[in-house]
Amino acid sequence: MYAIDLMVKEHSDIQKMIGGMHKLCCMILENQDSVCDEKSVLTDAAIQHFYNFIDFTRDYADHHHHGKEEKILFPVMTAHLGKMAENLVTHGMLVEHDLGRSHIRALETSLKLYQENQKTEHKLSIITEAMGYSNLLLLHTEKENSVVYTFAERMLSLELKDKIDVDCKAFEEEQSKLGIQEKYLKMLNDFISAY
């Protein structure tokens, strides 16, 4: 199924970005000079990488990837696969999407506070929220790959799967015209090559 294969590939992209974030957070904890100066203050480059991470998570992971799930796949599942799909999607996946958004908002707030006052507690909050989001999304993407997507592929009719594929292709074409995939896959490559 085109849509599922695409979403699994996007999960791989998200997991790669998370791998880079893990490395950046470890470098901060180890006070490495490429991310912290001699006074243990985050460098401008490190701060910019956190803002890039926020941008990637909001526009690629959330708007682009979760957009296909929330507007195309999940509504079909909940409309046609009964209570089990309703519970899996509404009380599972969508709750986790919202929790991820909460981590990203808190990460952005922590960065702004740190830029105003370079206190250790703000640096700790940055690492905490970045890792909270990262750990959540690693578990979330694995759950979707192994449970949600396989359930959809197994249980949805061929006609519904075809409709999902058509709608996802249209969504991808629209996003491609805006340069979304190109922009964020380049950002991903730059980020992981830095870390």
109-134 pLDDT tens trace: 999 999 999 999 999 999 999 999 99
Structure tokens belonging to residue 91: 């009380």
Q: What is the pLDDT of residues 67-103, one digit of tens each?
A: 999 999 999 999 999 999 999 999 999 999 999 999 9
- First-to-last alpha carbon distance for the chain, in angstroms, is 33
Overall residue count recorded for the chain in this entry: 195
The domain locations on the chain are 2-27+43-194
The model carries a pTM of 0.93
Rounded distance between C-alpha atoms, residue 72 and residue 160, angstroms: 11
φ, ψ at 36 (rounded to 5°): -130, 140
Query: Is the pLDDT reported for residue 143 higher than 90?
Result: yes
From the CB of residue 190, how many other CB atoms can be counted at a distance below 10 Å? Answer: 12
Q: What CATH architecture is 2-27+43-194?
A: Up-down Bundle (1.20)
CA 91, 95, 101: angle at the middle one, nearest 5? 170
> What are the CA-CA distances from residue 165 to residues 76, 158, 159, 178 (Å)?
12, 10, 10, 20
Report CA dihedral (112, 93, 90, 56) to the nearest 10 degrees. Answer: 40
Mean pLDDT, all residues of the chain = 95
Q: Which long-range contacts (CB under 8 A, 24 or more apart) does 145-150 make?
A: 145/8, 145/11, 147/88, 148/77, 148/88, 148/89, 148/92, 148/93, 149/4, 149/7, 149/8
Query: Is the pLDDT reported for residue 33 higher than 90?
Result: no
